[in-house]
Structure 1
Amino acid sequence: MKTSLSFVLLVLLTLCACAKKETKVYPYRWVYMSNSLRDDSDIEEFRAVAKTCSEHGLNGILLSCGADQIDIRPAEYVSRLREIAAIAGELGVEIVPSIFSIGYGGSALAHNRNLAAGIEVREALFVVKKGEARHAADPAVEIPNGGFEQYEEERVAGFSAPERLGQGVFRDQETFREGASALRFENPGDTTLEAPRLSTEVPVTPNRLYRLRLWVKSAGLDPSRPFGSGNLRLQATAPDGRPLEWININMPSTGDWVEVQEGFNSRDNERVEISVSSSRRQSGKIWIDDLRLEEIGLVNLLRRPGTPVTVRGEISGVLYEEGVDFAPLADSLLNFRFDHEGPSIQLLKGGRIKEGERLRVSFYHGTHVYDSQVTVCMSEPEVYDIWSRNARLILDNLEPSKYFLHMDEIRNGGHCKACKDRNIPMAQILGDCITRQVNIIREANPQAEVFIWSDMLDPNHNASDKRPYYYHVDENYYGSWNYVPKDLVIACWYFEKRRESLDHFSGLGYRTIAGAYYDADDLENPKGWLAALDQTPLASGIMYTTWLEKYELLGAFGDLVSGKE
């Protein structure tokens, strides 16, 4: 009996040992880290993460620290950069710099904010008076009953939604900002109820810039979720359902009246829907009042070769010259928000523009997506000059063997003259940009290994052909993978489509790694990725990807992916 038990135990131990031996350990086992290196505490934070990596089988830190802005950074930053490079070397952990972002501005906008992608405004009206031309609405616009004072039976007069008050949206005659009433959004958090929503349709002039204004107040709200849709959304939508612009409003649990402003370009539309909505999961109360719409002028004006400004006489048709007829134009508050006024056009002495003249002005403006995302133009040569300078400085100060292109979620582009003059699709513009990025890196470091986020090259993700547009881009990016170097390593991060994404890239001969974790409270996500990677030819690694600096599970993640668990 003892012999039989011993034999069974031996078999079980052998099976366990074999199972452990067969666990795949991928060569790239990383953690993503964002660190500004502003002071010495950032160095200690880096040291702690690097130490955890070293102790738990992780061998790389994908570091977002502004390394592609070294040429405009102070000496203290460069000193800290070199210090963390030394720390990483001592601990046997490699720093992989995350660089060259288009979708999130990055180094290009740090150098020149005019390098943002622009959307065209055509033939806006400016009227000359006392030596300057100021913007004039053409025609004037308004949202009827935007003060929510008029009602028809159980409806808000002039608004198509809600169909009747009392289902998430209520008239409030006790709490209001002005007039005699406001609207109150109130939902007890019951997800079976329809989300509170207010909407109306208004006429606009195509290809003009508009600003929405709304006053809001809150009481007893749930906290906003990170990366969520805020407590309230203010949005302008085209008749075909395409969002023109929106803002997710994050409000305090309880707060007094504040004004929210958002801008949008009407594009080729003559009517737009204006809506205010709240999540059906949102409990508490939100009041709204004084919803207004106005046409605006040179707000977030972009000045670069690919975004020319033209000023012509409305009647004469004469094209006036900047620096001769009027002073150079610039938006000194260029912040990609719509909380300020654009510049007026200052007439120059001896110029041809006359008092009282009506001018038609065309220009390009920058904008944002969600709360603060600003895209860079991929067709402006200055962008590549900035990257070239910094690629050499990155090599001098970090000496990396691997680089990561932060090329995800490119939600604007293709509108400016620089893009249109190329006469190629956005998928090819993106592919050309990535190819040039790789060439810039390898001009500085010929042996460099280059990684990139997957989404803009993935038909299962943000390069899908299911829609004819992608956010502010008038095309989709389908086919972009046909225009990029074949030796890129692709970091897939769409967990729900991990099988499809990995198959897409491995089928094209690309090596892949997984962007795993994403700030969960357990490691089920990385385990799911590992199972998928194990079935993927050319799979090469996995990364602990935290956007909220949640490193509590980093050690356990390292043990899991390095076979120590």
Structure 2
Amino acid sequence: MSRFLEGNDAGNCRIVKAVAVKPWHQYVMTLWVKSKSVTRNEDFHVQVLTDNGRALNYANLGVKPTQGWTEHHIVFNSLDHDTVRVYIGQWGGGEGTYWIDDVELRVAGAINLIRREGCPVRVTSADGKIEYEEGRDFKRWVNEDTGMKPWPGNFTVMTGEPAMLLTANSRIVDGQPLAVSYYHAVTVYDGQVACCLTAPGLYEHLSRQIELIKRHIAPRRYFMQHDELRVAGWCELCAGSGKTAGQLLADNVRRCTTIIHKHDPKAGVIVWSDMFDPHHNARDNYYLVSSTLAGSWEGLDPSVVIANWNGGHAGESLEFFAGRGHHQVIAGYYDQHDVARGVKRWRESSADINGIDAWMYTTWHQDYSDLEKFAQEVRRP
């Protein structure tokens, strides 16, 4: 696979195949990739799309510009679909050559299996008539690799697939077909995993952390990291609530703010804008979120300051939050080196907006070479 720009201006060079799948099954695809002198290796993907164009996987493959034959994996859940389209190849051009071999797609077995309240394991006979019990018919089923490789708290795309071990007096016969239901984590990009918005353990952990931060640091403000939450609403705690993902997120941010003020009543609270912005990510069909995120903003107390980074719809976004009584910080720099133009655009969008408290220099690449220039432009009359 090479000469990516031949045949289309976008430089997309991909193999596409429609594949039949079983709904609500976890799948793993394995492929071997070799590359030589590739200039845009980060744009080599395996993408699984549904008939309506929804992507079912977002983890990066990690193909290097030049590498020998290397095994790569993607993992996805088919959700309620029985057919998917699998794309393998290069997006957006560049130079170099890829070789692809030994592509295999199969049903997976408990990759990144999650065991907690709201994520039960259910095992029945193939016809569903007999339900088997953990502890009586099979030993506790866990994946020791989930969130533990190479260190605790780190998730990888591919983990081991743990065997289900039978007890001595199990009613299950060795080799018997079973129907098994379980919940699993999904990694996004490079190991990102979202927490549950509802699990009680989350709030116990947050409360302990805020208590420690208050005791040892005593900050004037707390910056909540609600940002690009790409998986939400699937476990039984969330789905069983009868609420949309937006309502669950509203409950979550409300509880997080309450926890902060319980331990530090006078502290200010800041949050990123995107997950509460109807002009950004608080919308329908967002990544692998189970339902609409609309209404998430209802959980924001007006005292919460919004760090607004919606450069694509700055005017609408700033006006929306100002209309709800929020003060805002403009996150006006994201590694775009035309600093003057970027600041000018934000300044024009915020000209008639009250409550703009500050500007933020926000770099993805730890690049502070434009910081002084940014400060000068912001201070310019």
Q: Of residues 259, 279, 284 in structure 1, which corresponds to 2:91?
A: 279
1:403-422 superposed matches below 5 A: 403-422=222-241
- Shift of residue 445, structure 1, vs aligned partner: 0.5
Q: Deviations over 1:264-289 (max 9, x none)?
A: 11111111111113123322212222
Q: Of residues 104, 110, 118 in structure 2, which corresponds to 1:292?
A: 104
Q: Which amino acid aligns with 1:488?
A: V
1:388 aligns to 2:207 (yes or no) = yes
5+ long unaligned stretches in structure 2: 148-154
Taking a change above 3 Å as real, the CA distance of residues 433 and 239 of structure 1, as seen in their structure-2 partners, is same
Match in the other structure for 2:221 = 402
Query: How far apart in 2 are the matches of 1:195 and 1:496?
Result: 25
- Shift of residue 450, structure 1, vs aligned partner: 0.6
Match in the other structure for 2:144 = 332
- Shift of residue 189, structure 1, vs aligned partner: 8.6
Q: Of residues 373, 388, 393 in structure 1, which corresponds to 2:192?
A: 373
Q: Which amino acid aligns with 2:336?
A: A
Q: Please say if residues 235 and 247 of structure 1, whose CA atoms lie closer than 8 Å, have aligned partners that are also in contact.
A: no
Q: Which amino acid aligns with 1:200?
A: K
Q: Deviations over 1:433-477 (max 9, x none)?
A: 00000000000110111111001111110013xxx4211113121
Taking a change above 3 Å as real, the CA distance of residues 190 and 220 of structure 1, as seen in their structure-2 partners, is farther
Q: Deviations over 1:392-422 (max 9, x none)?
A: 1101111111111110111111111010121
1:317 aligns to 2:134 (yes or no) = no
Query: How far apart in 2 are the matches of 1:529 and 1:245?
Result: 34
Query: How far apart in 2 are the matches of 1:520 and 1:193?
Result: 22
- Shift of residue 522, structure 1, vs aligned partner: 4.2
- Shift of residue 514, structure 1, vs aligned partner: 0.6
Taking a change above 3 Å as real, the CA distance of residues 434 and 254 of structure 1, as seen in their structure-2 partners, is same
Match in the other structure for 2:356 = 539
1:492 aligns to 2:304 (yes or no) = no
Q: How many residues align?
A: 373
Taking a change above 3 Å as real, the CA distance of residues 316 and 430 of structure 1, as seen in their structure-2 partners, is closer
Please, what TM-score do these two structures have when normalized by structure 1? 0.63
- Shift of residue 357, structure 1, vs aligned partner: 2.7
Query: How far apart in 2 are the matches of 1:551 and 1:527?
Result: 20
- Shift of residue 252, structure 1, vs aligned partner: 2.6
1:159-558 superposed matches below 5 A: 184-187=1-4, 192=9, 194-223=11-40, 230-315=42-127, 317-335=129-147, 336-464=155-283, 468-524=284-340, 525-558=342-375
- SS of residue matched to 2:191: coil
- SS of residue matched to 2:255: helix
Query: How far apart in 2 are the matches of 1:546 and 1:246?
Result: 22
Query: How far apart in 2 are the matches of 1:232 and 1:355?
Result: 42
- Shift of residue 371, structure 1, vs aligned partner: 2.7
Identical residues among aligned pairs (%)? 34
- SS of residue matched to 1:211: strand
Q: Please say if residues 325 and 353 of structure 1, whose CA atoms lie closer than 8 Å, have aligned partners that are also in contact.
A: yes
- Shift of residue 311, structure 1, vs aligned partner: 1.1
Give 1 or 2 for the bigger CA radius of gyration. 1
Query: How far apart in 2 are the matches of 1:508 and 1:518?
Result: 26
1:85-104 superposed matches below 5 A: none
Taking a change above 3 Å as real, the CA distance of residues 313 and 190 of structure 1, as seen in their structure-2 partners, is closer
Taking a change above 3 Å as real, the CA distance of residues 193 and 561 of structure 1, as seen in their structure-2 partners, is closer
Q: Which amino acid aligns with 1:309?
A: V
- Shift of residue 315, structure 1, vs aligned partner: 4.9
Q: Deviations over 1:243-272 (max 9, x none)?
A: 111443343322211111001111111111
- Shift of residue 550, structure 1, vs aligned partner: 1.0
Query: How far apart in 1 are the matches of 2:37 and 2:174?
Result: 55
Query: How far apart in 2 are the matches of 1:559 and 1:469?
Result: 40
Query: How far apart in 2 are the matches of 1:344 and 1:513?
Result: 51
- SS of residue matched to 1:244: coil
Q: Which amino acid aligns with 2:120?
A: P
Query: How far apart in 1 are the matches of 2:47 and 2:209?
Result: 38
- Shift of residue 318, structure 1, vs aligned partner: 2.2
- Shift of residue 523, structure 1, vs aligned partner: 1.9
Query: How far apart in 2 are the matches of 1:444 and 1:405?
Result: 15
CA root-mean-square deviation: 2.0
